[in-house]
Amino acid sequence: MSLVSSGKIRKRTSRMTFFDRVVFMRVIRRLIDAPGDPNWYGRMVQYHGDMSHNMHGMNSVGEQRFLPWHRVYLLNLEKRGKKIDKRFFIP
């Protein structure tokens, strides 16, 4: 089963080709290794780990926000990755 996002069908990780995986890992590595302390990726990791924004299901409000918040979070990551390599996608 694939999920539809922005009119596109998302490929499952189990369906990624070797080349898809290479592109994914290269882009993530470039994001991690980019200059800055913290760089864009590091700030995203910090923001995700910050529980004060109440998006991780610790109560009824967080439970309702969990999936929509993470969808936007991952779409932002995908947009940034596509700037590095247009073939990049989040499965």
Helices then strands, counting H and E runs in the chain, come out as 3, 2
Nearest to 6 by CA among 77, 67, 75: 75
24 vs 8: which has the higher pLDDT: 24
Q: Residue 90 has which token pair?
A: 């989040």
pTM of the full structure: 0.79
Instruction: Say yes or no to pLDDT of 40 above 90.
Output: yes
Average per-residue pLDDT in the chain? 86
For 60-83, the pLDDT digits (tens) are 776 788 888 888 889 999 999 999
If DSSP codes are grouped into helix, strand and coil, which group holds residue 5? Answer: strand
Mean pLDDT to the nearest integer, 13-22:
97
Pairwise CA distance, residues 65 & 35, whole Å: 32
Q: Give the torsion sign (CA, 44, 49, 55, 57).
A: positive
